[in-house]
Structure 1
Amino acid sequence: MRVLVTDDEAVLAELVAEGLRACAMAVDVALDGDTALERLMVNDYDVLVLDRDLPGTHGDDVCRELVRSGSRTRVLMLTAYTGTGDVVEGLTLGADDYLGKPFDYEELVARVLALARRSTRALPPVLVNGGLVLDQARRQVSRDGRHLRLSPKEFAVLRELMAARGAVVSAEELLERAWDENTDLFTNAVRIAMSKLRAKLGEPPLIQTVPGAGYLIPVPEDAS
């Protein structure tokens, strides 16, 4: 799951980003509207957390452009403008949700997850593959009833593999969906995360490596 946080308050933007990263999301940050539009053109985001009062291109215009382009990215306006008229105006512009400042982090995470489920790449809240169960809302994973303690990055990687439903996921796709834009494309981050994830999943091995292609978790033959 990939999110873009756009706010001209750098400290707040990073705090929001870190909070979402701790919940196994890949998060990029833009401090002005022009940068936000540039990143939205390059990357495929599930959710945009958008402040309305941005320097450069105004947040309202960022929202309008996103709607005009037909993007699947869902918009959560996170702003100090909290009057009823402001909320109505923001939703009329095309925002999918509206949250006022100050805000509760748990509520912010819940709203981002809810919006991501409404995107064209929507995933069910609970992913199941045989005895492997991943609960996105609770950020919990179990295998055959055994609870697994995964880091946010391991959780994100496993979510992408399970979401593929038996299809191969390349290292490049994992970097795109589970890491932010500051990740070195030549890094061993995917390999390292995969090694740790395999160890935590235990035996028998679940994750298969497809040489030259990527990784997959087979779907049981009796799965519906």
Structure 2
Amino acid sequence: MKILIIEDELVLQRSIAQYLTGEGNICSMASTYAQALERLNAYQYDCILLDLTLPDGEGLQILNYLKRMNRTEGVIIISARNSIDQKIEGLSLGADDYLIKPFHLSELNARILAIVRRKSAHGERHIEFHEIRIDLDAKEVLVNGKLVYMTKKEFDLLLYFVSNKGKVISKSAAVEHIWGDDSDMVDSFDFIYTHIKNIRKKLTDAGSRDYFQSVYGIGYKFTEA
């Protein structure tokens, strides 16, 4: 999963990023309101961790922005503010959860998983697309009940495309999804072609139809049409 951590306490920010990265996620970070908007204007995320107090703005303003732009990311407010009115306001503006500092990182991770599962699979622990079944807990892909081995990046990329089926995904968006902040250091997006080629072969070898379509000059989409 791709997670944006909007937190100005750098020690806490690094601690959260280190833990979530160790759990197999890709983390981007923003320490200010301006950096957060820059990230959000450039990329999509699976979940956003949002501190309410930023040096140059309010986290609630970011919730308003997400609402105006009809963004669908899950949002967990992480705040030292333990006011019931603050919680109600944040949740009414579209936040999915509210976690009071200090908190255990394992609890934060569990809440992220619950929110992303609910949003991407309507509360289910798996996603199905015809003969393809993706188990979100076991991180496994099955075709007609047969297990298909995939690397972590292949699994993340397939899940990204299936979750956005029918939408054109640019190469740059695919690269940023599986590399996070490090995507800025990538000289070429050609390796995405290799990843998708490998995923296609593994799926079709297991008996699946090929649902990937190339969109000339842009990227790919995952669709029946």
> Cα offset for 1:187?
3.7
Q: 2:188 maps to which residue?
A: 186
Shift of 1:49: 0.8
1:37 maps to 37
The structural deviation recorded for 1:30 is 0.4
Distance 1:69 1:202, change over 3 A: closer
SS of 2:90's partner is helix
User: Number of matched residues?
Assistant: 218
Match of 1:72 in 2: 72
8 Å Cα contact 1:24-1:155 kept in structure 2: no
What is the rounded CA distance, in whole Å, between the counterparts of 1:57 and 1:8 in structure 2? 11
Q: Does 1:159 align with 2:159?
A: yes
1:108-187 pair list within 5 angstroms: 108-116=108-116, 122-124=120-122, 125=124, 126-148=126-148, 150-165=150-165, 169-183=169-183, 184=186, 186-187=188-189
Residue 15 to residue 149, structure 1, CA distance change in 2 (3 Å): farther
Q: Deviations over 1:11-52 (max 9, x none)?
A: 432343344445565432101222112222232334321012
The code of the aligned residue for 1:175 comes to V
- Cα separation, 2, equivalents of 1:127 and 1:180: 23
Distance 1:7 1:87 in 2: 18
Give 1:57 shift. 1.4
Higher relative contact order (CA 8 A, sep 6+): 1
Q: Which has the higher helix share?
A: 2
- Give the deviation of 1:147 after TM superposition: 4.1
- Compute the displacement of 1:141 (Å): 2.7
What is the alpha-carbon distance in structure 1 between the residues aligned to residue 212 and residue 71 of structure 2?
33
Aligned residue number for residue 63 of structure 1: 63
What SS does the aligned partner of 2:27 have?
A: strand
What CA distance in whole angstroms lies between the structure 2 residues aligned with 1:23 and 1:201? 26
**8 Å contact 2:171–2:192 — kept in the other structure?**
yes
1:4 partnered with 2:31: no
TM-score where L is the length of structure 1: 0.71
Task: Measure the CA separation in 1 of the matches of 2:212 and 2:91.
Answer: 45
Unaligned runs of 5+ in 1: none
1:168-191 Cα offsets, whole Å, 9 max, x none, are 755344224433243126244424
Worse overlay, 185-194 or 202-211: 202-211
Map Cα deviations across residues 190-224 of structure 1 (whole Å, 9 max, x no partner).
244345546765824755765664556675x9xxx
The alignment partner of 1:75 has SS state of strand
Please report the RMSD computed on the Cα atoms of aligned residues, expressed in angstroms.
3.7
Give the deviation of 1:7 after TM superposition: 0.9
The CA distance in 1 between the partners of 2:157 and 2:108, in whole Å, is: 22
Contact 2:213 2:222 in 1 (8 A): no
| Post-superposition offset of 1:127 | 1.8
Conservation of the 8 A alpha-carbon contact between 1:76 and 1:96: yes
Distance 1:153 1:136 in 2: 14
1-structure distance, mates of 2:49, 2:87: 15
Q: TM-score, normalised by structure 2?
A: 0.71
Which residue type is aligned with residue 102 of structure 1? Answer: P
Gap change, CA 1:75 and 1:160, over 3 Å in 2 = closer
The worse-fitting range, judged by mean Cα deviation, of 74-83 and 187-196 is 187-196
Worse overlay, 174-183 or 159-168: 159-168
CA distance in 1, matches of 2:94, 2:214: 44
